[in-house]
Structures are given as C-alpha cells and as structure tokens.
C-alpha cells in the first residue's frame, strides 16, 4: 500500500519540491539582502536600546530608529506582496493534495478495486492519509522556518509580529494552517466525490475559517490591555515593543472617544500643523490605546496552532467515518 500510494502521488510530491526550490531561489538572495541591509543600518542595536516597554520617552534615539525603519521599509516595501503569496500557499496544499486524495479514487472508481483485494477501508485510508500527511508536515516545517527567517527584518522594522500579515507567516502557525487545509481537502473529497467540487469546497472552506479565526477569535485570545498617556508629556508608544494596536484615539476628560484613530503629541518648535490638537478635544483630553502586548506572540501562536490542529484532527476523524458508509 505504501509503495502504491507513493506511485500515485509522487508526481505531486516532485512538483511541490520543484515549486519550493523556485521559492527558495527567490527567498535566499532577497532574504540575505534584507538581513544585510537591516544590519548595516544599525537597526538591531537601535531597537534593542529602546527596550520592549509599551511607552518610551520621546528622544532623538526614538526618532532615529523610526527614521531608519522607514528607510528600510521604503527600500523593501515590494517584498510585502511576496509575503501575501506565502499566506495562500497552505490552501494550495488542501486544494491540490487533499481534495483529490479521495475524490479522484471515487471519480475513477479505483477505490472498489482496492477494497476488494483484501485491503480494508481503514488500512487504505490510514496509509494514504499518513503518507501524504507525513510528507506535508516535513515540507510545511521547512516552509515555515524559511519564511520566518526571510520575513524577520520586515517585521522588526515595521509594526511587529502580532499584526495580521506578519503573524500568519511567522512561527509555527503556517504548519497548522497547512495540515488543516490538507484535512479539509480530504474531508471534502469524501462528501463531494468529484475532484473539482471537492477542490472548490476546500478553497472556500479554508478561506472562511481562516478569516473567521483571524478577525473574530485572535484579538480575543487574551484580554486586550489599555494604555493612556498625556498629550503634553514626553512619552510615546515604543516602536520597538511589537505591540499590536487594535484601537486608539483621543478621549476627553469624561473618558468619551472624541477623535478615533488619532493621537495628540507634543508640538515641535515649528508648531503642531494641521493635525489634531488638545484644543479640539477639550481640556483634560488624553491619548488612549487598546493593544495586545508584543510579548504574547508565542502564546497566540500556541493557541492558534492548537485550534487548527484540533480542527484538522476532527476533519480526518469525520472523513474516516464517512469512508465506512460509502458504497
């Protein structure tokens, strides 16, 4: 069974290895270039000096780090579009590996031949699911490590690892996304026993679950923290903290939000310009921010990885149950 399964899917495996080789040919030189530029600008030392606190006193060092970060982002801003490609890679595993794994057997009728040759349905399914799953795990681990290394300078120079795009391609969650996509494709193939409908269900289902978890669940994994600071003081949010700012604005003395998505800061010698000022918000106004601390990154990664791993296990279980009832 193992040899037969390998022969059935070796073309897909070799095609995937070729695709990963092409991605590596893009990632390695661009990644080395980004890491070299990040180091040559002095950003590691600059950001380390700022610490990880959510607030920091506004100094020339903060302004300098901000300036260096903007300089880096301007040079490599196009790499963000490459990162979007990495976000969609896991679903391709579900569409092109998971969905045809069972549905193609049903569509072509080859499952009946196997099940009449002394191979039980459970044995057949465990070998197929296990072999393809093991290959997927190995490839997903390599992909996750490579993308995390490649994306690290862009994340460090910008808003931190907890923001939407950064979180999705860093750490261990890409592995869980990939396994979930594979399991969803397998499950879809047991209910919609045609390849194209199963692929479509895998694609739509993956997108729906990912968006729901990302938008509705992730901001609530742990209670968000709030922060208030005076517009006339010298403190400002620390650009090196990695905090995920979910909401901010200016509240009046009664605590009511009067200017959402705005912040009052000390005016420079040249004046405040056209931005919001304390007079617009009234006496006693203050800056307010709701955020998830940057040091929760690995906690959030563990929570989300667990969610998608459980979903993948449940889908495989229901797929196995479904196979027992198929004529």
**Residue 277 per-residue DSSP state:** -
How would you write 193-214 as a 3-class SS string?
Answer: CCHHHHHHHHHHHHHHHHHHHH
Report the pLDDT value the prediction gives residue 266, as an integer from 0 to 100.
58
**Taking Cα atoms as reference points, which of 168, 165, 169, 206 lies closest to residue 184?**
206
Q: To the nearest 10°, the Cα dihedral for 79, 81, 84, 86?
A: -50
Beta strands in the chain (DSSP E): 55-57, 225-229, 235-237, 244-251, 257-260, 286-292
Spell out, as residue ranges, where the chain has pLDDT lower than 50: 267-274
Rounded to 5 degrees, what angle do the CA atoms 249, 153, 211 make? 55
Confidence at residue 104, expressed as pLDDT on a 0 to 100 scale: 81
pLDDT for res 109: 65
Residue 225 and residue 245: Cα distance in Å, rounded? 10
Cα→Cα distances 156→71, 141, 150, 302, Å? 13, 22, 11, 21
Can you list the pairs that 189-192 forms with residues at least 24 positions away whose Cβ atoms lie under 8 Å?
189/98, 189/99, 189/100, 189/101, 189/102, 189/103, 189/104, 189/106, 189/319, 190/102, 190/103, 190/319, 190/322, 190/323, 190/326, 191/322, 192/103
| pTM, rounded to two decimals | 0.86
Helix or strand run (H / E) with residue 217? none
Instruction: Give the Cα separation of 49 and 191 in Å (integer).
Output: 56
User: 291-318, pLDDT tens digit by residue?
Assistant: 999 999 999 999 999 999 999 999 999 9
Burial of 242 (0-12, 13-18, 19+ CB in 10 A): buried
Task: Name, in order, each residue with C-beta under 8 angstroms of 150's C-beta and a sequence gap of 6 or more.
Answer: 27, 30, 31, 34
d(CA 292, CA 299): 11
Assess contact for 83 and 27: CB atoms under 8 A. no
Task: For residue range 189-209, list pLDDT tens digits in order.
Answer: 988 878 899 999 999 999 999
């Amino acid at each position: 069974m193992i040899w037969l399964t390998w022969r059935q899917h070796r073309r897909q495996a070799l095609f995937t290895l070729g695709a990963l080789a092409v991605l590596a040919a893009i990632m390695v030189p661009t990644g080395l270039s980004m890491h070299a530029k990040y180091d040559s600008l002095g950003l590691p030392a600059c950001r380390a000096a700022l610490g990880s606190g959510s607030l920091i006193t506004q100094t020339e060092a903060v302004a300098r780090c901000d300036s260096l970060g903007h300089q880096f982002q301007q040079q490599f801003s196009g790499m963000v579009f490459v990162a979007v490609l990495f976000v969609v890679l896991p679903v391709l595993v579900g569409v092109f590996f998971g969905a045809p794994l069972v549905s193609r057997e049903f569509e072509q009728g080859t499952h009946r031949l196997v099940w009449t040759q002394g191979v039980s349905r459970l044995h057949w399914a465990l070998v197929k699911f296990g072999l393809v799953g093991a290959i997927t795990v190995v490839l997903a681990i390599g992909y996750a490590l490579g993308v995390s290394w490649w994306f690290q300078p862009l994340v460090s120079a910008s808003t931190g690892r907890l923001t939407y795009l950064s979180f999705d391609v860093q750490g261990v969650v890409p592995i869980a996304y990939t396994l979930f996509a594979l399991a969803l494709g397998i499950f879809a193939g047991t209910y919609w026993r045609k390849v194209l409908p199963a692929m479509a269900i895998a694609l739509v289902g993956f997108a729906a679950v990912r968006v729901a978890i990302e938008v509705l669940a992730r901001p609530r994994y742990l209670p968000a923290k709030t922060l208030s600071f005076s517009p006339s003081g010298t403190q400002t949010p620390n650009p090196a903290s990695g905090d995920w700012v979910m909401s901010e604005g200016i509240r009046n003395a009664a605590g009511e939000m009067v200017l959402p998505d705005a912040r009052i800061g000390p005016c420079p010698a040249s004046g405040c310009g056209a931005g919001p000022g304390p007079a617009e918000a009234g006496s006693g106004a203050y800056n307010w921010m709701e955020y998830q601390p940057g040091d929760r990154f690995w906690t959030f990664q563990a929570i989300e990885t667990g969610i998608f791993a459980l979903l993948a296990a449940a889908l495989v279980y229901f797929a196995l149950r479904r196979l027992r009832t198929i004529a």
